[in-house]
Structure 1
């Protein structure tokens, strides 16, 4: 029984083969070989022994458990001995103290042979303990780093989720501890970077470096390839563009400047811009770069109509109203599952909130024209001044928003792109929208196969430079174009369907025989 042998890992062995086993032991510290179990197995093979590593409670950490002198083991784990040796019944046993990763935790390495421990065997055991402790410390440091990185990522996501429901006060309070001044702003821009899921962690770290840790960088909880970046000003835009330029598979979409309380709207804009970026050579796009239908509408009429449509929500407490509006914005952009992941709630909560909005607005979100109209109102509501509409302001109907010459010209120009294809993409798209985006129902009306409908809709995406099958802002713009051009019935809002007289004349001139139905 004795103390630990010399712990200098580079001590030469007594025989000429020392350098061989020492090199083999050091190889276990390479990134591809760092495994406690493999080191224990290597030691057993090298010394033709039975080797086990157990903790201070006797549980096996590596190797098969072997009978030990528990008194000796207790002396080692208790700190009274650093090592011990025992011989009997044809066995030679060496016990060595091993510092484990838990604070104050000590393990015992037991090496049992049928032959005695010569100088070489003793050196191998001693140095193996040193390697094990070094590896365990490295693993503890790495694990701590991973936990810290995970906690930081969770905190960033929590801040984003608070911003999504307009709780800017709580978001600032949470951010202040780690990122002082990060949200000391009234406005912000949101960018979404898209890469392959395998590249996302690396690119997220690159985004943090590119923005000098002065932006909120979040791995999107809904889409595995997305990184969300909230920046207090647009100074990071050029850095993010340069980052995407250096990464061939990356795309970047950015929002216009929005109030910090309207982060959800800015996020939707960034996702919409991302869809455009996929069709552009430089792989980047900003929401303001494209003409959007709401910019072509009479602003006072849009303001009046929006206020009237959303007025049923004004009776709710501010927090509840903000929560419902934020959830509905995301629910109209994405699936309930993805919206739930972004908000950090269950999908049933998302559906329940949206159903409550449906009931308050007395409308039906299964109708794509209704979804497009409500989506328009939610986006317009962001830019509406807080003061109420004057008593003299006449209430506006949705149809009034679609009568302007600029909007009509935009709609006709957008849909005319589809006419360059030999297939009737425009007719298929119109029927698909009228069927609520359901390919099977649209196929029945058109007497074609459902796959043909999907192929036509997919073919329309690059022509229109908008994603359609994924839903969201791009689709709603195309729906508004159909409504402005008179290709579809006006949506049923507040329980009052509005039929546009222009629709019948347009169909007669265009030769469209079918009449769409609401989904």
Structure 2
């Protein structure tokens, strides 16, 4: 009677012979159906049985837990036998070994049925075990692939972080083993690609494909929507533009070609260009080779003033000085939180390093004019020093050394070329009837604090922010986000005589409203 029931049972699911159940089982190997739980459920439904897949310690991998004889399971997992069949209290049990990828120990597929197993049922169990082995191997391979990709991504981020702190020697050493030749260059472009939420992983892969894997592609640790691309190849820009053109809602910002030691500067330029790209029809922009204020200053005076301003850091050990300067450059360019993510340290570490620099320079980073001045000095140092990790230039203090009143910077800003540049830049705002120039000047004087500026102007804080957003496309510079664009505008106000010179060498302390504390 049991045999006839079993025959009817298997017949229902195997009409047409072996081909029917084999086709169903093979469907589970398709990419959309690869799931050991679904295979176990299919086997249970096909044989009207209880099915479990357990490891040697009794851990359930799929199906419904079934009590098994530990001795029998141990013999199967040890390889003494490949399968077993037995009957217990009128229930028929079939056990089959299922190998798993090393180093995982073998598992056991257990099928318990009220009816005995005929040849067809036994074949179904055996072939199901083989399919499970393939799925487990595929899953292990996919897991290993994900781990490998994650490790590669972590290494790319580590290389970028080394470049951000100007340690090009270590960056090249790390890159040489995995991406030979990638950093065998003196200069490179940095691009930042922005996509919508949830699209960044795919975008990063497409950036690697577009650059033919001849670029350092990093998922930005500070901005979830950004992918950073550092490449020495001039053709990469065109390839990335083409990629952005094919992807709606994607934007591209690129830097000018910079030395590897100035990767942080290049990154800031790319982010700045990204803001401009949002207003461009092609959704892409490269940092304009516009006239920067430092190019209009006397180079010798600029170098001397820079050396004098940063001289309090000279007695520090070489590596500590380089660390403090690199961190401060990033901290002035971005918020402390973003700089910390880029560097791979805590924000408290960034703030502690910047506080130390602030103390050594005896100045106050809460003042935007101070921040602009120190940013100018750090960029000047990066350009003129022979090697990013060398000690500071000597340079005589001469007329470049900053005094308590900030006269050293005033000397830099009094040239007719710089004054003409400042008047031209700020004059663009005169065409707007909202008096954007007054709002911008008041906001800068208020330490980039919209509420304070609003109280001074007698308007709402939101009005201040709207005016600033209106000024950004006119000046072609980011203001609300801070960084080098804002500092150029601050220097323009100083050169035009619309702001008081910064106090360099004073004793003011940083307030909580300073951007460094955001």
* Same fold (TM > 0.5): yes
Q: For residue 231 of structure 1, report the CA deviation from its aligned partner.
A: 2.3
* Higher mean C-alpha deviation, range 352-361 or range 223-232: 223-232
Alpha-carbon distance in structure 2 between the residues aligned to 1:297 and 1:102: 66
Q: For residue 233 of structure 1, report the CA deviation from its aligned partner.
A: 4.7
* Higher mean C-alpha deviation, range 194-203 or range 132-141: 194-203
* Higher mean C-alpha deviation, range 133-142 or range 242-251: 242-251
* Higher mean C-alpha deviation, range 413-422 or range 315-324: 413-422
Q: For residue 375 of structure 1, report the CA deviation from its aligned partner.
A: 1.2
Structure 1 residues 437-464: Cα deviation after superposition (integer angstroms, max 9, x where no partner): 2122122222222222222222222222
Q: For residue 19 of structure 1, report the CA deviation from its aligned partner.
A: 4.6
Structure 1 residues 394-423: Cα deviation after superposition (integer angstroms, max 9, x where no partner): 546111222223322322222233233332
Q: Equivalent of 1:479, from 452, 468, 490?
A: 490
Q: For residue 280 of structure 1, report the CA deviation from its aligned partner.
A: 2.6
**Conserved? CA contact 2:211–2:236, under 8 Å:** yes
Q: CA RMSD for the aligned pairs?
A: 2.5
**Conserved? CA contact 2:305–2:399, under 8 Å:** no
Q: For residue 494 of structure 1, report the CA deviation from its aligned partner.
A: 1.4
Alignment partner, residue 420 of structure 1: 431
Q: Equivalent of 1:435, from 433, 446, 451?
A: 446
Alignment of 1:272 with 2:268, yes or no, is: no
Alignment partner, residue 389 of structure 1: 395
**Conserved? CA contact 2:308–2:397, under 8 Å:** no
CA pair 434-330 structure 1, distance change in 2 beyond 3 A: same
Alpha-carbon distance in structure 2 between the residues aligned to 1:44 and 1:236: 54
Structure 1 residues 2-54: Cα deviation after superposition (integer angstroms, max 9, x where no partner): xxxxxxxxxxx864375554443333333333222222123223322211111
Alignment partner, residue 46 of structure 1: 46
Q: For residue 352 of structure 1, report the CA deviation from its aligned partner.
A: 0.5
Q: Equivalent of 2:475, from 430, 449, 464?
A: 464
Q: For residue 94 of structure 1, report the CA deviation from its aligned partner.
A: 1.0
Structure 1 residues 474-517: Cα deviation after superposition (integer angstroms, max 9, x where no partner): 222222222222222221211199xxxxxxxxxxxxxxxxxxx9
Structure 1 residues 255-283: Cα deviation after superposition (integer angstroms, max 9, x where no partner): 33333223222222222232233333333
Structure 1 residues 88-116: Cα deviation after superposition (integer angstroms, max 9, x where no partner): 21211111111123436100011111122
Alpha-carbon distance in structure 1 between the residues aligned to 2:279 and 2:311: 38
Q: Equivalent of 1:489, from 496, 500, 503?
A: 500
Alpha-carbon distance in structure 1 between the residues aligned to 2:300 and 2:251: 36
**Conserved? CA contact 1:279–1:465, under 8 Å:** no
CA pair 97-40 structure 1, distance change in 2 beyond 3 A: same
What secondary structure is seen at the aligned counterpart in 2 of 1:479?
helix
Alpha-carbon distance in structure 1 between the residues aligned to 2:32 and 2:497: 65
The correspondence of residues 393-408 of structure 1 with structure 2, limited to 5 A, is: 395=401, 397-408=408-419
Alpha-carbon distance in structure 2 between the residues aligned to 1:496 and 1:147: 51
* Higher mean C-alpha deviation, range 231-240 or range 407-416: 231-240
Alignment partner, residue 117 of structure 1: 117
What secondary structure is seen at the aligned counterpart in 2 of 1:32?
helix
Q: Please list every run of 5 or more consecutive structure 2 residues that lacks an aligned counterpart in the other structure.
A: 1-12, 387-392, 402-406
**Conserved? CA contact 2:37–2:63, under 8 Å:** yes
**Conserved? CA contact 1:43–1:51, under 8 Å:** yes
Q: For residue 138 of structure 1, report the CA deviation from its aligned partner.
A: 0.8
**Conserved? CA contact 2:98–2:108, under 8 Å:** yes
The TM-score normalised by the length of structure 1 is 0.87
Q: For residue 339 of structure 1, report the CA deviation from its aligned partner.
A: 0.8
**Conserved? CA contact 1:159–1:175, under 8 Å:** yes
**Conserved? CA contact 1:37–1:63, under 8 Å:** yes
* Higher mean C-alpha deviation, range 361-370 or range 210-219: 210-219
Alignment partner, residue 348 of structure 2: 348
Alignment partner, residue 31 of structure 1: 31
Q: For residue 291 of structure 1, report the CA deviation from its aligned partner.
A: 2.6
Alpha-carbon distance in structure 2 between the residues aligned to 1:24 and 1:459: 63
Alignment partner, residue 293 of structure 2: 293
